[in-house]
Amino acid sequence: MVSRTAPPDTKGHEEHPAQRRVLRVLVVTQILSGAALAAGITVGALLAEEMLGSTGLAGVPSALFTIGAAVGAAGIGRACQRWGRRPGLTLGYGGGAFGSLLVVAATMYDSVPLLFLGLLVYGAGTASVMLARYAGADLASPGRRGRAVSTVLFATAAGAVAGPGLVGVMGDLAHSWDIPRLAGPFLLAFAAFASASLFVGTFLRPDPLLLARDMPGPAKPDTAPGDDGPAPAAGGLKGVPREDLRRMAAGAAVMVLSQVVMIAIMTMTPIHMTDHGHGTGTAGIVIGLHMAAMYLSSPLSGHLVDRVGRTPTAGLGAAVLTVAALTAYFAPPGSGAALALALVLLGIGWNLGFVSGTTMVADAAPPDRRAAYQGLMDVGVLIAGAGGSLASGVLVASGGFRLLTGIGAALALVSAVALAARHARSRTAAPATEDHTV
């Protein structure tokens, strides 16, 4: 049985003195890395369509850097576990910079194998952008954990908005250097990732994860008496309480659904737009608005997670994803405004699910194995996203954009109903309290 409690009393667990500094460093790092992430996402599908000559394969780049991100999440998670957040994130951002250079070289020499390798390495670097959110939660008290996660994600918005907006400028710069225009954003990604690596490696001191391990941990806000027996799990999960495993699995499931629906529709929207007469600049603006919505909505998500609850916020996110997919389904292909609205809603729904799911995982992961488990959870999320990305190109090639968005709406609706039922059951089991953690 899972107990249900009100939000933890943050007065009993004051923030660590280093928390503000950690968040400030992560904010600057996320601004830089957000630009690198957004630049690659904006032109990845267009670059593949040009080099591979097939719309059906346009989802391959997104799948490749998502697979790379899954591998990177596991590797960076283990590096953080062993050495701390600072060395792990520094290594990850450096890998993203190297991968960006490989993509540029691939376009210069028209080499598809080098393109694929570059996208994989670039993707491994993007894992750092997402894993940094856990660093923000390392020293946060339970009642402020959602807002700490959302602060790091919110900082990514500045770079995420600027990245797509610079597609044309960077394309012109690349052309002036006799480099294909579509490689321009990856030049930006190289500079941004390299700067992020240098900054976090220099200033993320003290290391939040290493400090958290040495801190006497506060009581978990939702631990049920008598429910602390270890699960009979093998390997790295041995000894983890059953309830913690369930919380981590629930958080991962929320993030998986949010990632699959979001990445599938986002990946194919630029292709859908250019196929119906929109220029790459317009597509870049739409993706920029989407990326802004993904991260600018973070303060709202963090507030809801801490004040309303993890599960209700996750359910709201699934409902917003449903509306977003239906908006894209019914949007006239020639209407950039309608597609922009759909992608803004898609970004907001993703953020609600991602912040709530992340907080569930952060609540449950034990400090001594926290980074490795968080990396493992992200591996599952990213692999699911890679599958969604690959399937998106196939679905659009075989049945059109409406088939893709219709399936996305159905998946999100099923999730919203399931989360609403879960919350209703928790309210029935404990009518005097609210579900804030599951």
- Which tokens go with 7? 């939000």
Binned at pLDDT 50, 70 and 90, residue 417 comes out as: very high
Q: Which domain holds residue 170?
A: 15-212+241-429
Above 70 in pLDDT, residue 1? Answer: no
CA 285, CA 311: separation in Å to the nearest integer? Answer: 33
CA 77, CA 371: separation in Å to the nearest integer? Answer: 5
Above 70 in pLDDT, residue 216? Answer: no
How much is the pLDDT for 228? 35
Number of domains observed in the structure of the chain = 1
Is 81 a domain residue?
yes
CA 375, CA 177: separation in Å to the nearest integer? Answer: 39
Is 236 a domain residue?
no
How much is the pLDDT for 67? 81
Structure confidence by residue, pLDDT tens digits, 324-369:
999 999 999 888 899 999 999 999 999 999 999 999 888 887 777 7
Is 3 a domain residue?
no
Structure confidence by residue, pLDDT tens digits, 387-402:
887 788 889 888 989 9
Binned at pLDDT 50, 70 and 90, residue 162 comes out as: low
Structure confidence by residue, pLDDT tens digits, 290-329:
878 888 899 999 999 999 999 999 999 999 999 999 999 9
Would you call 434 helix, strand, or coil by DSSP? coil
Nearest to 15 by CA among 136, 131, 150: 136
Q: Is the dihedral of CA 310, 68, 207, 81 positive or negative?
A: positive
Q: What is the DSSP string of 93-156?
A: HHHHHHHHHHHHHHHHHT-HHHHHHHHHHHHHHHHHHHHHHHHHHTT--GGGHHHHHHHHHHHH
What would the mean pLDDT of 111-139 be, rounded to a whole number?
A: 88
Whether the CB-CB separation of 110 and 91 falls below 8 Å is answered with: no
CA 319, CA 328: separation in Å to the nearest integer? Answer: 15
Whether the CB-CB separation of 357 and 145 falls below 8 Å is answered with: no
How much is the pLDDT for 41? 65
Whether the CB-CB separation of 156 and 34 falls below 8 Å is answered with: yes
Task: Tell me the percentage of the chain whose pLDDT exceeds 70.
Answer: 82
How much is the pLDDT for 42? 63
Is 75 a domain residue?
yes
Q: Which residue has the higher pLDDT, 114 or 198?
A: 198
Q: How far apart are the first and last CA of the chain?
A: 12
How much is the pLDDT for 54? 61
Binned at pLDDT 50, 70 and 90, residue 193 comes out as: very high
Strand partners, 241: 230
Above 60 in pLDDT, residue 63? Answer: yes
Structure confidence by residue, pLDDT tens digits, 10-47:
343 567 788 889 999 999 999 888 878 766 666 766 77
Is 328 a domain residue?
yes
Whether the CB-CB separation of 329 and 402 falls below 8 Å is answered with: yes
Mean pLDDT of the chain: 81
Strand partners, 230: 241
Is 221 a domain residue?
no
How much is the pLDDT for 220? 43
Above 60 in pLDDT, residue 177? Answer: yes
Structure confidence by residue, pLDDT tens digits, 363-386:
887 777 788 888 888 888 878 877
H or E segment and range at residue 368? none
Is 389 a domain residue?
yes
Question: pTM for the whole thing?
Answer: 0.75
Nearest to 70 by CA among 252, 235, 244: 252
Structure confidence by residue, pLDDT tens digits, 248-265:
888 889 999 999 999 899
Whether the CB-CB separation of 310 and 407 falls below 8 Å is answered with: no
Is 293 a domain residue?
yes
CATH of the domain at 104: 1.20.1250.20
